[in-house]
């Protein structure tokens, strides 16, 4: 997917508050407060989705006009919610943009619902590898076969390298 920046501008503080409130609903207030309070926010308008730079780093993006952490954003706060943990065997595929299959999943947040955006992390260090869309609920992710997370952003892709 090619990302072309159409415009770039600062975000007003009242809009920043709205974005932070949405992220707090998903990830919890303490994680968001530490990572984002008092920082400078800029909006990059691009083709596939808008990207929010926090002090110059692409930490949030807006697939389907809902704010969610990028992989860099997930690495900066290490969230506990909306997380899918994959084993070492799946890691090399996920970092290359592959969708996540059931056999590679070690555990998943049971609160995940079908259609939710999720953070895919590796098992050993719990580092974020990708952001994807859940195709099934968190309770149904561990199993024998089938695709369960559609990858939309991963380490090293164009969004990762945007700035």
The CATH number assigned to the domain holding 34 equals 3.10.450.120
- Per the structure, the count of domains in the chain is 2
**Could you say which of 76, 93, 109 is where a domain stops?**
76
Q: Judge if 27 and 41 occupy the same domain.
A: yes
113-135 pLDDT, tens digit each: 999 999 999 999 999 999 999 99
pLDDT at 1: 56
20's tokens: 């932070």
User: In sequence order, what are the residues at sequence separation of 6 or more whose Cβ sits closer than 8 angstroms to the Cβ of residue 31?
Assistant: 77, 78, 79, 80
- pLDDT above 90 for 14: yes
28-82 pLDDT, tens digit each: 877 787 778 889 999 998 878 899 999 999 999 999 888 999 999 999 988 899 9
DSSP the chain: ----EEEEEEPPHHHHHHHHHHHHHHH-HHHHHHHHTT--EEEEEESS-EEEEETTEEEEEEGGG--EE-HHHHHHH--SSSEEEE-HHHHHHHTTTPPEEGGGEEEE-TT--TT-EEEEEETTT--EEEEEEESS-GGG-SSSSSEEEEEEEETTSTTTT--
Residue 44 lies in a domain: yes
pLDDT at 3: 74
- 3-class secondary-structure state, position 138: helix
Percent of the chain with pLDDT over 90: 74
pLDDT at 52: 95
pLDDT at 2: 65
Q: Supply the CATH number for residue 143's domain.
A: 2.30.130.10
CB atoms within 10 A of CB 5: 12
Q: Judge if 61 and 88 occupy the same domain.
A: no
pLDDT at 49: 87
pLDDT at 57: 93
pLDDT at 30: 72
């Amino acid at each position: 997917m090619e990302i072309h920046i159409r415009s770039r501008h600062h975000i007003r503080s009242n809009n920043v508050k709205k974005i932070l409130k949405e992220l707090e609903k998903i990830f919890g207030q303490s994680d968001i407060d530490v990572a984002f309070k008092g920082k400078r926010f800029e909006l990059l308008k691009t083709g596939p989705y808008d990207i929010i730079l926090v002090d110059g780093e692409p930490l949030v993006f807006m697939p389907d006009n809902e704010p969610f952490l990028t992989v860099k954003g997930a690495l900066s706060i290490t969230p506990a919610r909306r997380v899918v943990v994959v084993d070492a065997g799946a890691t090399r595929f996920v970092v290359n943009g592959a969708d996540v299959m059931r056999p590679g999943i070690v555990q998943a947040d049971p609160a995940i619902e079908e259609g939710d955006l999720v953070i895919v992390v590796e098992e050993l260090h719990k580092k974020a590898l990708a952001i994807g869309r859940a195709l099934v609920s968190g309770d149904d992710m561990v199993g024998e076969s089938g695709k369960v997370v559609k990858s939309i952003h991963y380490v090293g892709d164009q969004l990762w390298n945007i700035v």
